[in-house]
């Protein structure tokens, strides 16, 4: 992932459960329909073999299109599976170790809920991007929400690229497009009948 251009870029997130017999083809259609900056492997399973098989399948799709593939949390699997980096979910706490272990060329991202302090600390420790969310209202989290004002402030004050993710919709994307570098889209895309068409619609909303 690089510094965003004039418009935000798409940061695609896999479903927590995926079927390897069909998902890579669906992913390929999405990646061929719009420009995507990065894919995050974000599975709910803790089965290392299942994660490895998914990573192998998705790496073929992403790397053939020169798209970065990062993984949620599992720092030790990055090099083992030939991935481009890690998305940390514990704020700034693991950023220093991740950067030290993976080196300067790997992508290290940090999810910081709605904490400016954690976000700034993660950036100071070497995170390539900071992610805030959920942006929309959802009953699946702990009640914390990343308000639009956070992204407005970040875009004015901080140079580290920022990702807006979680319970997004068309209106939120349009509202935040001037203030974020990337939109993290996952279930918003995969739970629809035509993920590629949905992704194209979100891409249009970002403009």
Q: What is the mean pLDDT of residues 30-50?
A: 97
Are the C-beta atoms of residues 116 and 83 closer than 8 Å to each other? no
- Per-residue model confidence (pLDDT) at position 140: 83
In a domain, 18, yes or no: yes
- Per-residue model confidence (pLDDT) at position 142: 87
- Per-residue model confidence (pLDDT) at position 6: 78
In a domain, 143, yes or no: yes
pLDDT tens per residue across span 59-83: 999 999 999 999 999 999 999 999 9
Q: Tell me what percent of the residues of the chain surpass a pLDDT of 70.
A: 98
Where do we find the tokens 């970002």? 206
What confidence tier does 143 reach under pLDDT thresholds 50, 70, 90? confident
The burial of 162, by beta-carbon neighbours within 10 Å (0-12 exposed, 13-18 middle, 19 or more buried), is given as: buried
- Per-residue model confidence (pLDDT) at position 3: 45
Are the C-beta atoms of residues 192 and 30 closer than 8 Å to each other? no
In a domain, 134, yes or no: yes
CATH number for the domain harbouring residue 32: 3.20.20.70
Q: What is the mean pLDDT of residues 82-102?
A: 97
In a domain, 161, yes or no: yes
CB-side neighbour CA atoms (13 Å) of 12: 29
What confidence tier does 2 reach under pLDDT thresholds 50, 70, 90? very low
CA pair distance 179, 181, nearest whole angstrom: 7
| Domain interval for residue 48 | 9-71+130-205
In a domain, 43, yes or no: yes
Q: How many domains does the chain have?
A: 1
In a domain, 165, yes or no: yes
- Per-residue model confidence (pLDDT) at position 141: 81
User: Is pLDDT of 11 > 70?
Assistant: yes
Local structure of residue 143 (DSSP, 8 states) = S
CA pair distance 182, 163, nearest whole angstrom: 5
What are the E-state strand segments in the chain?
9-13, 36-41, 68-72, 85-88, 107-111, 129-132, 162-165, 182-185
User: Residue 102 corresponds to which tokens in the numbers above?
Assistant: 């993976």
Are the C-beta atoms of residues 161 and 132 closer than 8 Å to each other? no
What confidence tier does 1 reach under pLDDT thresholds 50, 70, 90? low
pLDDT tens per residue across span 108-136: 999 999 999 999 999 999 999 999 999 99
In a domain, 30, yes or no: yes
In a domain, 45, yes or no: yes
Contact residues for 128 (Cβ-Cβ < 8 A; gap 6+): 1, 85, 107, 108, 109, 160, 161
């Amino acid at each position: 992932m690089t510094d965003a251009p004039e418009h935000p870029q798409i940061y695609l997130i896999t479903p927590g459960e995926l079927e390897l017999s069909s998902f890579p083809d669906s992913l390929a259609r999405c990646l061929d329909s719009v420009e995507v900056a990065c894919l995050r492997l974000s599975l709910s399973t803790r089965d290392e073999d299942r994660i490895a098989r998914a990573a192998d399948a998705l790496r073929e799709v992403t790397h053939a299109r020169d798209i970065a593939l990062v993984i949620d949390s599992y720092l030790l699997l990055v090099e083992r599976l030939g991935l481009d980096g890690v998305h940390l979910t514990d704020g700034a706490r693991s950023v220093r170790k991740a950067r030290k272990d993976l080196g300067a060329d790997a992508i290290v991202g940090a999810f910081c809920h709605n904490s400016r302090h954690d976000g700034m600390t993660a950036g100071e420790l070497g995170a390539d991007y900071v992610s805030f969310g959920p942006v929309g209202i959802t009953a699946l989290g702990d009640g914390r929400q990343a308000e639009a004002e956070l992204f407005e402030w970040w875009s004015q004050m901080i140079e580290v690229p920022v990702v807006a993710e979680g319970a997004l919709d068309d209106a939120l994307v349009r509202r935040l497009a001037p203030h974020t570098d990337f939109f993290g889209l996952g279930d918003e895309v995969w739970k629809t009948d035509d993920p590629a068409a949905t992704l194209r619609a979100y891409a249009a909303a970002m403009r």
